[in-house]
Structure 1
Amino acid sequence: MSDESRVAIVTGAADGNRPEPAPRRAPRAPRAPGAPGEAGTLGVMDGLMQPRPLTIAHILERAERLHAHKHVTTAGTERLTYAEVADHTRRLATALDRLGVPAGARVGTFAGNHRRHLELCLAVPATKRVLHTINIRLSAEHIEYIVDHAEDDVVFVDRGLLPRIWPSADRLPRVRHWVVLPDGSDMAIPADPRILDHDELIASGDPFAGSFEDAFTLEDENLASGLCYTSGTTGPPKGVLYSHRSTVLHCLGTLAAGLIGLSESDVVMPIVPLFHATAWGLPYGAMMAGASLVLPGGSADPAHLLRLIETERVTVAGAVPTVWTSLVPDLRSYDLSATRCLLGGGSAVPPALSETYRAALGVPITHSWGMTEVSPVGAIGGTRTRHREATEEQRVAVRAAQGQPMPLVNVRIVDVETGGELPRDGHAVGELQVAGPWVAGGYFRAEGEDGFTGDGWLRTGDLATIDAEGYLRLVDRMEDLIKSGGEWISSIELETVIASHPDVVEVAVIARPDPRWAERPVAYVVLRDGSATTAGQLLRHITPMVAKWWLPDAFVFMSALPRTGTGKLSKSALRDSARAP
């Protein structure tokens, strides 16, 4: 059954009546050994375990029952316990019923990282609706496309962000209600019957009593729970439709010891936006583990983030490399001694950046690799016990890898031309493909099916190596490789050596058309404030590290590099600039 049809057939209490708890399914009787049609002399049989579905409601219920005293802090100004968050979530569940939002309907959110958004991440899927987190950084054209494509029934939007999306309201007739979330701003709210106030909506009803899991028992754990769209850098955004099963299993993956290893003693701060695959699943993992949560609100100001990490004694935080780079100048001005794991993702973490954090805090930035289609985390970096005897240079090289796949995630590399699987020797380069229970098996409304192999693996578009220990190292995106004079140049490797210069903050290397060589590399560089480093100095710095024909034809200095809506470098924008006359 397709994901689209699953959403369509779910039924619920759109009229506001609380659904009766569904009866628990009785376990099936074991198959008799040797039954007809079964292989082997002994046959096969089912286990006798309870077939209880994996649900997001269980994450909420566990946090409420076992960790009610733990806190969710927003921007350092609001602190609520999990018990209070659960109460608000219960009220939100009844409010969705009063609005007539049917089970299976998509509920959009256009909001920052704060407590009310977290409550939506819990209430919407727990009540059998589908959470659609909308990227607030997208263009109006893309926002309208995905809201219409998702057929959102209701959209919850931060008051300060309302001017970004309200001009599109009349072009989105399927949205029946726009619910405004208070965010501390005093932005004017248009007089329109479609606009509702979130806090008034919540306050007007009583929270339902009883168990979330009993009230919203799932008939099938594979029912849709969340919808997140890709950034659309290579075509229209594609919808990735998560299930309760995939979300809970990914959540448990974040608790895996030796990787991220979230635990009850942690204080977790997702700097990465909630609209990006629910902040990499960190809030769900934190609540499952009983860890406290710190949400930074709408500000990415370095001083604000560093102050939160210090005052809240944050132990685990996740952000894209751009954010980690912005914090470097003031790292030593704050007490960040509580940190034990700093996750980087969204794009490759430059080794020099990771080592800067290790030198300052004793904690490097840990690589993670994933995609929206992988929920999003598929691999976690870092050294293992066998590296204790390695040289420091060897450990730096290991930390620079994207890491080993998380439990239940399978990876392989295949020859781009033949599709044959390549050896795991750390040298063979092929397209990275991935499979697992929290990896997409298709796109919403069956668009982009060429992104999957005939045997069901996701084609990532990344070129990578895998070594004998399973360490994954990205070589490049397939579209970012540079072919000069018939030879391949890795933009990622070239970026790494350029970024090793102490004055380089960011760098992106792209191919520029060349009449003789077909393509030649050009480096776009952001230098530290006050740096007088020249192109010639950068060229001399990297010359000993790469082949002569890898050396960029030009260095273009910029104050900032263009970015996609998810904060990744936008090489397509740079390529357009390079092609411009």
Structure 2
Amino acid sequence: MTDPIAAPFLSHGTELPPVPGGSVDGLLTRAAERFGDRPAVIVPGAGQVTFAELDRQADAYARGLAGLLGSDGAPVLLSMALVPEFPALYYGIIRSGNVVNPANHMYSAEMLEHALSLSRARAAVVTPEVYQRLAPLRERLPDLEHVLLIGPAQDGVPSVLDLLADAPAGPAPVPSQGEATACVLFTSGSTRKPKPVQLSHRNLLTGAVQLSTAHEQDAGSVVLNGLPLYHPMHMNASTHVGATHVLSGGDVVDSVGHANEYRATHFYTLPFRLIQLSGHPRLGELELATVRMVASGGFPLRPTVLRALDRQFGVPMLQGYGMCETSSLAASDLLSAPRPGSVGRPLPGSRLRIVDLESRLPVAPHAIGEIQVQGPNVMKGYLVPQPEEAVDAEGWLSTGDVGYLDEEGSLFFLDRVRDVFTTGGVLVAPGQIECFLAEEPEVAECAAVDAPEGGGLVPVAFVVIRPAHRPDGPQALAALLEGVRERVNAQLEPHQRLHRVEALDELPRLANTKVDRTALRKRVR
């Protein structure tokens, strides 16, 4: 094994192209000047809006919000689904001189209260569905002065459209820029409650340039986006280059149809939707006529999924790695040379390294440790102080994720630091076990976790059996699971071998679609 200390290794991204100055909403201003009549956002079945129209709407929202809140950086929570109004409100809030706080529209009442309390939001722009969860909380949120609905006013709650009607005449406010905070994103909460991440104008502008460069987007691109808009990195990248953005986040087969209908060049969706697509009964009749790349992030896709989609569509299947703290992606596969199993190389202008979990020293290729990211896309910091600093004096962000780099600088993501454990003094990364488990033909989905046994911790797994392989009766199921366990263990190192495999109808998931390993640990305990 390579000595993890003797040969520290850095993976460098390519050179970063020039990043525009000013404020984030300037992306929209420049796009409207260059591509005014071109569709900026299309929502199938709900219409479209041009860059010029979007810019005018953002301007009116900015004037209305400045009249309501002033222009001194007031936090404004924005919670909505894939709808055309989102970009105008996102850029309008920033243009008003205030700070946009995009939030998951699927948040429970508890999570909404957590986000609003931490950010001390003075206003919230939400759908009627989100307001039903928010209304009972208002008396516990003293900072929340205004709630505005997406759509018509209801029960005395004004509509955000009133901002357009009541916007004062004259130019929009001049927002802050540079290192000032433009946006606060909330982390996924996969290990604890979401943390509020401060991103500056420079962070977001850098992320837009990095992503559009890495994925070779330009003014002729049509980007189909099936990802949640509460992390709007793809919207910023498309606006930067003047690409058309098609929002299609429902059934993945419908999204394939929308990609063909609008001649999409880039197709972004969630990993679990690609898993669904790879096993869909209609897969054999589908095509992506104009798409040049399909990409996902959040968790790595197993090789069988990638091979099935590659055989059917014949386009690169890219995986990426990023987090709120990196503004956009931190790494992405190359369009020209995707690496199966890898989540790619650092984005332009950024660097990656792996550090030992105990010594915190950089390690050599193939040595497992914590992933660190350095670059102009790394956040300003958390809005609320955390027990440990995430960014050190040299600008290295400790991600809380475990992985390794190969000799070429490609990153392989394995797990969260909180999910790895030791057995007999040897590190076990459940993600490595899942790579083998997911290759079993009976297994549709899987997750491995640690379970207490004999005074220590051992690996156990939960699987969802494909419908075609589900046996009749508990004895047949037990035999199937034991067969899976034996075949997988034959490929694993002794410390990785599964002590048992259990079947579930479905894996528990968080609001961001990641597997809820905390719930699985509770189950085995």
Structure 1 length-normalised TM? 0.80
Provide the rounded CA distance (Å) in 2 between the counterparts of 1:293 and 1:129: 25
Q: Which residue of 1 aligns with 2:237?
A: 285
Aligned-partner SS, 2:122: strand
Q: Contact between 1:383 and 1:399, CA under 8 Å: does it hold in 2?
A: no
Q: Which residue of 2 aligns with 1:574?
A: 520
Specify whether residues 135 and 51 from structure 1 end up closer, same or farther in structure 2 by C-alpha distance, changes over 3 A only.
Answer: closer
Q: CA deviation at 1:546?
A: 2.0
Provide the rounded CA distance (Å) in 2 between the counterparts of 1:283 and 1:360: 28
Q: Deviations over 1:276-306 (max 9, x none)?
A: x22xx1111111111111113xx62334333
Q: Contact between 2:199 and 2:380, CA under 8 Å: does it hold in 1?
A: no
1:67 correspondence with 2:67: no
Specify whether residues 207 and 405 from structure 1 end up closer, same or farther in structure 2 by C-alpha distance, changes over 3 A only.
Answer: farther
Q: Which residue of 2 aligns with 1:125?
A: 94
User: What is the number of residues matched between the two proteins?
Assistant: 497
Larger gyration radius, structure 1 or structure 2: 1
Q: CA deviation at 1:254?
A: 1.2
Which segment is superposed worse, 323-332 or 59-68?
323-332
Aligned-partner SS, 1:346: coil
1:374-413 to 2 correspondences below 5 Å: 374-382=326-334, 398-413=339-354
Provide the rounded CA distance (Å) in 1 between the counterparts of 2:513 and 2:433: 21
Q: CA deviation at 1:91?
A: 1.5
Q: CA deviation at 1:181?
A: 0.6
Aligned-partner SS, 1:255: helix
Q: Which residue of 2 aligns with 1:252?
A: 209
1:225-374 to 2 correspondences below 5 Å: 225-256=182-213, 259-275=214-230, 277-278=231-232, 281-296=233-248, 300-328=250-278, 329=280, 330-374=282-326
Specify whether residues 172 and 307 from structure 1 end up closer, same or farther in structure 2 by C-alpha distance, changes over 3 A only.
Answer: farther
Q: Which residue of 1 aligns with 2:446?
A: 507
Q: Contact between 2:58 and 2:95, CA under 8 Å: does it hold in 1?
A: no
Q: Which residue of 2 aligns with 1:489?
A: 428
Specify whether residues 575 and 112 from structure 1 end up closer, same or farther in structure 2 by C-alpha distance, changes over 3 A only.
Answer: same
Q: Deviations over 1:216-262 (max 9, x none)?
A: 264x5111100011123333422111111110011000121xx3121
What is the one-letter code of the residue matched to 1:161? V
Q: Contact between 1:508 and 1:524, CA under 8 Å: does it hold in 2?
A: yes
Q: CA deviation at 1:190?
A: 5.2
Q: Deviations over 1:433-460 (max 9, x none)?
A: 1111111242113334433335442111
Q: Contact between 2:295 and 2:318, CA under 8 Å: does it hold in 1?
A: yes
Q: Contact between 2:287 and 2:312, CA under 8 Å: does it hold in 1?
A: no
1:164-203 to 2 correspondences below 5 Å: 164-182=133-151, 191-192=155-156, 195-203=157-165
Q: CA deviation at 1:482?
A: 3.7
Q: Which residue of 2 aligns with 1:114?
A: 83
Q: Which residue of 2 aligns with 1:562?
A: 508
Which segment is superposed worse, 71-80 or 490-499?
71-80
1:471 correspondence with 2:428: no
Q: Which residue of 2 aligns with 1:480?
A: 419
Structure with more relative contact order (C-alpha pairs < 8 Å, separation 6 or more): 2
Q: Contact between 2:64 and 2:168, CA under 8 Å: does it hold in 1?
A: no
Q: Deviations over 1:115-154 (max 9, x none)?
A: 1111111111123211001122333222202201111111
Percent identity of paired positions between Structure 1 and Structure 2: 25
Structure 2 length-normalised TM? 0.88
Q: Contact between 1:441 and 1:456, CA under 8 Å: does it hold in 2?
A: no
Specify whether residues 130 and 304 from structure 1 end up closer, same or farther in structure 2 by C-alpha distance, changes over 3 A only.
Answer: same
The answer for unaligned runs of 5 or more in structure 1 is: 1-49, 386-394
Provide the rounded CA distance (Å) in 2 between the counterparts of 1:87 and 1:442: 32
Q: Contact between 2:332 and 2:343, CA under 8 Å: does it hold in 1?
A: yes
What is the one-letter code of the residue matched to 1:521? P
Q: Deviations over 1:535-571 (max 9, x none)?
A: 1342354244223553322222222211222221111
Q: Which residue of 1 aligns with 2:108?
A: 139
The answer for unaligned runs of 5 or more in structure 2 is: 1-17, 472-479
Specify whether residues 332 and 161 from structure 1 end up closer, same or farther in structure 2 by C-alpha distance, changes over 3 A only.
Answer: farther
Q: Contact between 1:90 and 1:208, CA under 8 Å: does it hold in 2?
A: no
